[in-house]
Amino acid sequence: MPTPNRAARSTSCSPLIFKGVIMDWNLVGKVGAFLLIALSYLIRIPYARRAGKIEVVKRDRDMAEIAVLLLAALGMMVLPMLAIVFNWPAQLSYTAQPPLVIIGYAVGIAAIWLFWRSHDDLGEQWSASLEIREGHELITRGVYARIRHPMYSACFLWVIAQALLLANWLGGLAGLVAFTTLYFERIAREEKLMLNQFGQAWSSYCETTGRLWPSARAAAKPQP
């Protein structure tokens, strides 16, 4: 018979016995983190192929842009995958907490939906870099009717979910640090590129939208 103290301790561990089934919450979290990476990659493939067929007429790319893109890939995919597959670094792993994993799944579902919707509304104008393509239009439909950069919003949800799902201090938090760095390095440059391309139309659009979430002014704007 376990003592009361030992029994109390056992309920706080990651493996949870439910109706005879042992639930390993570290594994459940790893599955969720893997699905985030895999689904985001699968969502992006068809849009990247379509966009690749259209000529780029203007590009704002320098070493800083390349560096933050590589940093984002490292933090959002490479390091999390090392933690998922190899539990590396093992010394930075910890016991997953079921409530955090459950919240992580909820945030992850929202991230994937917004990630897909952002790509679908943007269509063939998507680009990983700061680029203007031939025939580029200012997209104000769908989620872009309320938010100027919903793909960034989706990525922030992604890295927050990753931190909640992946019980490894490096693999779990690397994406949050990396993507935040990318966002602050390029957001002003991206909006300047849009202003130079679309002029007053962009300025008017900014007045009725928020960068990452709907603004109070956007609430009164009718959906296209």
Q: What is the 3-state secondary structure (H, E, C) of the chain?
A: CCCHHHHHHHHCCCEEEECCEEEEHHHHHHHHHHHHHHHHHHHHHHHHHHHHCCCEEEECCCHHHHHHHHHHHHHHHHHHHHHHHHCCCHHHECCCCHHHHHHHHHHHHHHHHHHHHHHHHHHHHCCCCCEEECCCCCCCCHHHHCECCHHHHHHHHHHHHHHHHCCEHHHHHHHHHHHHHHHHHHHHHHHHHHHHHHCHHHHHHHHCCECCCCCCHHHHCCCC
Arithmetic mean of pLDDT, 32-49: 96
pLDDT at 8: 37
Per-residue confidence (pLDDT) for residue 92, from 0 to 100: 98
Task: Give the sign of the dihedral formed by CA 163, CA 178, CA 33, CA 150.
Answer: positive
pLDDT of residue 77: 98
Q: Give the residue-averaged pLDDT of 120-136.
A: 88
Sorting pLDDT into bands at 50, 70 and 90, what band is 20? very low
Domains and CATH numbers, the chain: 29-220 (1.20.120.1630)
Helices 63-73 and 169-198 cross at an angle (nearest 10°) of: 140
Position 220 confidence tier, pLDDT thresholds 50, 70, 90: low
What is the pLDDT at residue 12? 40
Q: What is the per-residue pLDDT for 173?
A: 98
What does the alpha-carbon distance between residue 62 and residue 12 come to, in Å, rounded to a whole number? 49
In the chain, what percentage of residues exceed pLDDT 90?
72
Is the pLDDT at 2 greater than 50? The verdict is no
The model scores a pTM over 0.75: yes
pLDDT per residue as tens digits for the range 171-214: 999 999 999 999 999 999 999 999 999 999 999 999 999 999 99
Instruction: Please give the pLDDT value at position 182.
Output: 97
> Over 70: is that where the pLDDT of 10 sits?
no
Task: Give residue 6's pLDDT.
Answer: 41
More confident residue, 95 or 217: 95
Taking residues 96-100, report their average pLDDT. 97
119 vs 124: CA distance, rounded Å: 8
Q: Does the pLDDT value for residue 51 go beyond 60?
A: yes
- Mean pLDDT score of the chain: 89
Of 11-20, 57-66, 69-78, 134-143, the least confident: 11-20
pLDDT-based confidence at 105, cuts 50/70/90?
A: very high
